[in-house]
């Protein structure tokens, strides 16, 4: 059976068919959340902090981090968000972006082995992203 291993600096989770269910908290995502998007674009991460702590308290075993804000500096915001979330919890993260530069930025500050989310299956996109994941 196929297994996926993700980790933070101190915690490892194995995802697979014969493994316990993995609950991925998806609230750290400005898509459809105008207030969160505006705050993150301005460098205010207080709602990200609250969402992180709430998802941990609710039993998430992993957190998805997304910083997709139109016309904002997504690579910078994603890196800052990843660092903040990792300072608040030891849960592994899924780094979620369709922008290669943002993925690179988020992965560069991540301590552990992240799950990478939102990659499309085009050959040229995979050629850009796979080296980052490796």
pLDDT exceeds cutoff 80 at 65: yes
Q: Which residue has the tokens 């849960």?
A: 91
121: confidence class by pLDDT, cuts 50, 70, 90? low
CATH code, domain carrying 50? 3.20.20.20
Number of domains in the chain: 1
Residue 111: C-alpha distances to residues 6, 43, 87 (Å):
11, 22, 10
- Which pTM was predicted? 0.90
Position 74 scores a pLDDT of 95
Spatial separation of the C-alpha atoms in residues 38 and 26, rounded to whole Å: 18
Position 131 scores a pLDDT of 64
Q: Provide the residue range defining the domain that includes 124.
A: 3-133
User: Mind listing the pLDDT tens digit for each residue in 30-62?
Assistant: 999 999 999 999 999 999 999 999 999 999 999
């Amino acid at each position: 059976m196929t297994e996926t291993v993700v980790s933070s600096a101190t915690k490892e989770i194995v995802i697979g068919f014969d493994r316990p269910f993995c609950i991925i908290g998806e609230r750290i995502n400005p898509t459809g959340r105008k207030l969160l998007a505006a705050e993150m674009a301005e460098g205010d991460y207080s709602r990200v902090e609250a969402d992180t702590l709430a998802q941990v308290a609710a039993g998430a075993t992993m957190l998805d981090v997304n910083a997709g804000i139109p016309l904002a500096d997504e690579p910078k915001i994603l890196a800052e968000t990843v660092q903040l979330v990792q300072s608040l919890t030891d849960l592994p993260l899924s780094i979620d972006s369709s922008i290669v530069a943002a993925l690179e930025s988020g992965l560069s500050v991540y301590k552990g082995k992240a799950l990478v989310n939102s990659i499309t299956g085009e050959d040229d996109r995979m050629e850009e992203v796979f080296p980052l994941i490796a």
